[in-house]
Amino acid sequence: MALEIERKFLVNSNCYREAASSKSRIRQGYICRESGRTVRIRIRDGRGFLTIKGPSPNGISRYEFEKEISLDEAEHLFELCQPGVIDKTRYLVPMADGHVFEVDEFYGENDGLVIAEVELSSEDEPFELPPFIEREVTGDRRYYNSHLTTNPYTTWS
């Protein structure tokens, strides 16, 4: 298992699209999402992934295990997922300081939501904020993908 350390931000413009080095379409569902622990199935650009994440006591760090599985396995495991699917395009935006921001544009019931994440090697690692960042939402569970499957962005008041 690896420790995932990431910060999450809302995005205020689409200038990240021009700065992106790549983009990919992602569809994901959750077999389990309880007490901050998740088991996720993801299909990204025709490849399947199984991911298990532990709880995040501080909203920044948590354990993550990810394994590539066959596309056929991923499609079959989607049948076991709880209701609610995440559909999004992910843009990878490299920064001059060496960090890469992952910017997700959501569709369907989460249409209109755009979130950027940056992975870090330590919780206090400094990083450069790109101009498209609006505000930080790290630790706000409303913006977790697993939460968005049951409480979609378009239903927020």
Residues annotated as catalytic (active site), given as ranges = 30
The Cα-based distances of 106 to 13, 35, 48, 57, 154 in angstroms read: 14, 24, 19, 26, 11
Q: Is 1 exposed, middle or buried (0-12, 13-18, 19+ CB in 10 A)?
A: exposed
Give the number of other Cβ atoms within 10 Å of residue 26's Cβ: 17
Q: Per DSSP, what are the bridge partners of residue 52? A: 39, 65
**Cα separation, 87 vs 85, whole angstroms:** 6
